[in-house]
């Protein structure tokens, strides 16, 4: 029993400290710490500044051939948020200028041809009232 308790204590010390999906992370913090947040689920908010749709190749988590990119910006920076299909929530289509809350997995892309090299793969998106 003592060996198990020691093992559990050691394992809990070895888990790196990263923000949880429930904690809001500024976009600038995500971009500046992308390597440590890579493949982690984070939550951020910002204003939709642009859209782009593509009929590109399937990617991890999106087997559909139709994807959308939403550029989201806050006071600290901007990030490309990629999702399957159109950006919608329960109220309908999300449009430029909407303030959104996004939970996404952060991806640091290794291909030099991809710019920007940091993307967020959206797991949930919803409109929220604008907050300063």
CA distances from 28 to 25, 31, 33, 55, 85 (A): 8, 5, 8, 29, 26
Say if pTM beats, i.e. exceeds, 0.85. Answer: no
Domains and CATH numbers, the chain: 19-127 (2.40.50.140)
Q: Cα separation of 68 and 80, whole Å?
A: 10
pLDDT tens for each residue of 52-93:
877 565 566 666 667 888 999 999 999 999 888 888 888 888
Within 10 A of 59 (CB to CB), how many other CB atoms are there? 14
What mean pLDDT comes out for the span 15-24?
57
What is the predicted pLDDT for the residue at 12? 44
Question: Tokens at residue 83, please?
Answer: 């999702």
Query: Given CA atoms 125, 54, 108, 77 in this order, what sign does their dihedral have?
Result: negative
Tens digits of residue pLDDT in 86-115: 888 888 889 999 999 999 999 888 766 556
């Amino acid at each position: 029993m003592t060996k198990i308790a020691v093992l559990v204590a050691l394992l809990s010390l070895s888990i790196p400290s990263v923000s949880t999906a429930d904690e809001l992370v500024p976009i600038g913090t995500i971009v500046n710490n992308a390597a440590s947040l890579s493949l982690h689920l984070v939550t951020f908010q910002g204003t939709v500044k642009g859209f782009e749709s593509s009929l590109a190749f399937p990617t991890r988590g999106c087997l559909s051939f139709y994807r959308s990119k939403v550029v989201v910006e806050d006071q600290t920076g901007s990030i490309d948020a990629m999702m399957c299909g159109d950006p919608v929530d329960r109220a309908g289509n999300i449009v430029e200028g909407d303030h959104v809350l996004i939970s996404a997995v952060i991806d640091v892309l290794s291909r030099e041809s991809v710019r920007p090299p940091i993307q967020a793969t959206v797991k949930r998106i919803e409109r929220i009232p604008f907050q300063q």
